[in-house]
């Protein structure tokens, strides 16, 4: 049996694929490469020393997706594919509803037709909207304030409804807080193809001198130093949360939701200072007006994942800053080759429908 990872060539998906391969799982990636490249798939194989099956497929292409389902027998699906920029979702809500919701419906339909009953869904802390209580528990109200968060919540509601309608399904919803960091090899991590939205890619662009300074969005929030506080979680810890969720699915029926965060909050200035300290780099920044839609504080209550998934994060903010910088310094496979790591080029199964 194989595990299907949709969006497996992405920032979070690639780390999860490396961890699944390390467990000798048979991994199939479906990714449309709209926000990644084949080099990521190469690097997954380079790091793990194992092969993956890769299909460049858009989830909305029902024919191609069904072909993948009929080519393999899947025990579980880890569903990460989707578009994830809050700003973009405000400008292009139709694209967000189409990619995230329609894509998921087509995926769930393929799963049903092929009798695949276990899924882990990548949701987001944005479903909470403006939190009433910090830290935020899974039972907190969900009132997303942007189309991206609305699509994630709509999919969560669909998954809960499916679990109510079919008692044979095993569904875990994981609400990510702020994933940062990179794989320790420096070969896979966050490398947005277009203009980044998130704090850490902007920081590394300033560090690389690709950007003159970092804009700090507001310094008069009701927080320790006036800048926004978030719950940053290392991508390795986020990935291990998925492995523990897979184990949980082994003997669980129904639909359960978990926060994946570090459970601690850091302000923008604390992140800037940590990055400078750990990497010995000075970062230029300037305070500008607040970004529309930002909340002051967003920190996860992770007690439920600790209890039911037996999962705890263990990377520090220093690890996150060190690894985020390392990947920016590493070139691509070429550098890895120079370091004596050989990659066996292989033809990818780019799906060309007959
Ligand atoms: C973090 C902090 C900003 C950029 C988003 C999505 C969420 C999830 C994680 C997908 C905030 C400040 C940022 C900059 C800044 N993604 N900031 N200058 O907004 O908490 O969450 O990413 O699921 O869905 O909403 O993350 O990294 O954009 O911002 O001062 O140039 O950094 O104000 O306080 P956010 P972020």
Kindly report the CATH number assigned to the domain that includes residue 173: 3.40.50.720
> How high is the pLDDT of residue 317?
98
For 296, the token pair is 């002051």
DSSP for 205-227 reads: HHHTTSSS-EEEE-S-SSSSSSS
> How high is the pLDDT of residue 329?
81
Would the CB of 202 count as within 6 Å of ligand 1? yes
Which residues, at least 6 apart from 23, have a Cβ–Cβ distance to it below 8 Å?
243
For 129, the token pair is 């909207």
Residue 277 lies in a domain: yes
Q: Which position among 128, 148, 221, 232 bears the catalytic label? A: 148
Beta strands at 118-124 and 74-79: parallel, antiparallel or unpaired:
parallel
Q: Is 187 helix (H, G, I), strand (E, B) or coil?
A: coil
> How high is the pLDDT of residue 338?
62
Low-confidence ranges of the chain (pLDDT < 70): 193-194, 331-354
> How high is the pLDDT of residue 340?
59
Residue 345 lies in a domain: no
Domain tally for the chain?
1
Query: Which of 79, 177, 268 to probe ligand 1 with, by most ligand atoms within 8 A of CB?
Result: 268
The string of pLDDT tens digits covering residues 140-157 is 999 999 999 999 999 999
What's the mean per-residue pLDDT of the chain?
A: 93
Cα–Cα dist 199/241, whole Å: 23
Residue 197 lies in a domain: yes
Cα–Cα dist 222/240, whole Å: 33
Cα–Cα dist 333/184, whole Å: 15
Predicted structure pTM score: 0.94
In DSSP terms, 118 is beta-bridged to 170
Question: Which structural domain, as residue segments, surrounds residue 316?
Answer: 2-338
Are the CB atoms for 137 and 304 separated by under 8 Å?
yes
> How high is the pLDDT of residue 320?
97
Please name the residue whose Cα sits nearest to atom 23 of ligand 1: 124
Query: Which of 228, 234, 290, 292 to probe ligand 1 with, by most ligand atoms within 8 A of CB?
Result: 228
Beta strands at 178-180 and 53-56: parallel, antiparallel or unpaired:
unpaired
Residue 351 lies in a domain: no
> Active site includes 148?
yes
Residue 347 lies in a domain: no
Are the CB atoms for 89 and 147 separated by under 8 Å?
yes
> How high is the pLDDT of residue 195?
77
> How high is the pLDDT of residue 335?
52
Tally the C-alpha atoms within 13 A of residue 120's C-alpha that lie toward its C-beta.
32
Locate the ligand 1 atom nearest the alpha carbon of residue 227 and give its number: 34
Residue 75 lies in a domain: yes
Would the CB of 197 count as within 6 Å of ligand 1? yes
Q: Is 325 helix (H, G, I), strand (E, B) or coil?
A: helix
Residue 108 lies in a domain: yes
Beta strands in 154-250 (DSSP E): 170-176, 178-180, 214-217, 229-230, 232-234
Residue 346 lies in a domain: no
Are the CB atoms for 36 and 9 separated by under 8 Å?
yes
> How high is the pLDDT of residue 229?
98
């Amino acid at each position: 049996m194989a595990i299907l990872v949709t969006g497996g060539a992405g920032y979070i998906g690639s780390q999860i694929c490396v961890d699944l391969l390390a467990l000798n799982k048979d991994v199939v990636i479906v990714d449309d490469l709209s926000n990644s490249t084949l080099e990521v798939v190469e690097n997954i194989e380079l790091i793990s020393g194992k092969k993956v099956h890769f299909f460049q497929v858009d989830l909305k292409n029902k024919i191609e997706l069904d072909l993948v389902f009929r080519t393999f027998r899947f025990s579980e699906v880890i569903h990460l594919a989707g578009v994830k920029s809050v700003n973009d979702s405000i400008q292009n809500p139709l694209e967000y509803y189409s990619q995230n919701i329609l894509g998921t419906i087509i995926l769930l339909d393929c799963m049903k037709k092929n009798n695949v009953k276990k899924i882990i869904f990548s949701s987001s802390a944005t479903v909470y909207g403006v939190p009433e209580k910090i830290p935020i528990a899974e039972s907190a109200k969900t009132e997303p304030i942007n189309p991206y968060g609305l699509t994630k919540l709509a999919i969560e509601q669909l998954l809960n409804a499916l679990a109510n309608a079919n008692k044979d399904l095993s569904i875990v919803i994981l609400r990510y807080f702020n994933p940062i960091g990179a794989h320790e090899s420096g070969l896979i991590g966050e490398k947005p193809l277009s203009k980044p939205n998130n704090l850490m890619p902007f920081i590394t662009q300033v560090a690389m001198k690709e950007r003159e300074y970092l804009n700090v969005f507001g310094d008069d929030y009701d927080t320790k130093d006036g800048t926004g506080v978030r719950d940053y979680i290392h991508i390795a810890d986020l990935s291990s949360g998925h492995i523990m969720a897979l184990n949980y699915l082994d003997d669980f029926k129904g639909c359960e939701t978990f926060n994946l965060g570090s459970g601690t909050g850091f302000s923008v200035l604390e992140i800037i200072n940590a990055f400078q300290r750990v990497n010995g780099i000075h970062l230029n920044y300037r305070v500008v007006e607040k970004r529309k839609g930002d909340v002051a504080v967003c920190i996860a209550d992770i007690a439920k994942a600790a209890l039911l998934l037996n999962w705890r994060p263990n990377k520090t903010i220093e690890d996150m800053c060190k690894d985020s910088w390392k990947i920016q310094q590493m070139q691509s496979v070429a550098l890895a080759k120079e370091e004596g790591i050989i990659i066996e080029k292989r033809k990818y199964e780019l799906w060309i429908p007959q």
